[in-house]
Amino acid sequence: MDNAARNATSPSVVVVMGVSGSGKSTVASLLAGRLGWEFEDGDDFHPAANVEKMQAGHPLTDEDRWPWLAAIAAWIDRVRAEGRHGVVTCSGLKRAYRDVLVGGRPDVRLVYLQGDRELIGRRMAARHGHFMPTSLLDSQFRTLEEPAPDEDPLVVSVGATPQAIVAEIVETLKGPGPRTA
């Protein structure tokens, strides 16, 4: 589906992506609340072994990520099949990962929370109780393949407040023409 056709379709699911510490969970939960949609945190789909590996300061490999991505994709497909709407988070660092989540699903929209290493590092250092240590942020940026224009991402800077980011996302999802958002 080309970008014009995708933009004319109201999303069933929004995938909020970005490196750890970019604000995915905060923005996605606020967005879901604003839209009256379901919210799922992609971190909750990680098997225990992945969480333990990250807590120990070891980055995940592609092999670690495939079952996690498949579980998120299954949730997306369930929401779509049941005619519901949802917002889910996922780092989605590589194109191949995003293809698992969004590929072939014209009613799934990608929102990329974009920010620089310094700002996101400060935010990660200030948060408490998250399993992802700040020491893994550099590996996240090394792995990150920013979404290409043909993926039709909605790119939003993380420099604003979460409320302003959500307002920008909602306004863009409304776009010209009929929308449910």
Q: What pLDDT is attached to residue 145?
A: 96
- 124-153 pLDDT, tens digit per residue, is 766 555 555 566 778 888 899 999 999 999
Rounded to whole angstroms, the Cα distance separating 7 from 28 reads 20
Average pLDDT rounded to a whole number, residues 48-73: 89
Q: What pLDDT is attached to residue 42?
A: 94
Most confident of 1-10, 52-61, 105-114, 172-181: 105-114
Instruction: Give Cα separations from 143 to 59, 77, 102, 155 (angstroms).
Output: 10, 26, 19, 18
**Size (the chain), residues:** 181
Average pLDDT rounded to a whole number, residues 89-105: 96
- Among the listed residues 44, 100, 40, the one whose alpha carbon sits nearest the alpha carbon of residue 73: 100
Rounded to whole angstroms, the Cα distance separating 11 from 2 reads 14
Most confident of 52-66, 109-123, 142-156: 142-156
Percent of the chain with pLDDT over 70: 84
pLDDT at 159 over 50: yes
CA pseudo-torsion sign 161, 3, 35, 102: negative
Q: Look at strands 38-40 and 154-157 and give their pairing.
A: unpaired
pLDDT at 166 over 90: yes
Full set of structural domains in the chain with CATH: 18-173 (3.40.50.300)
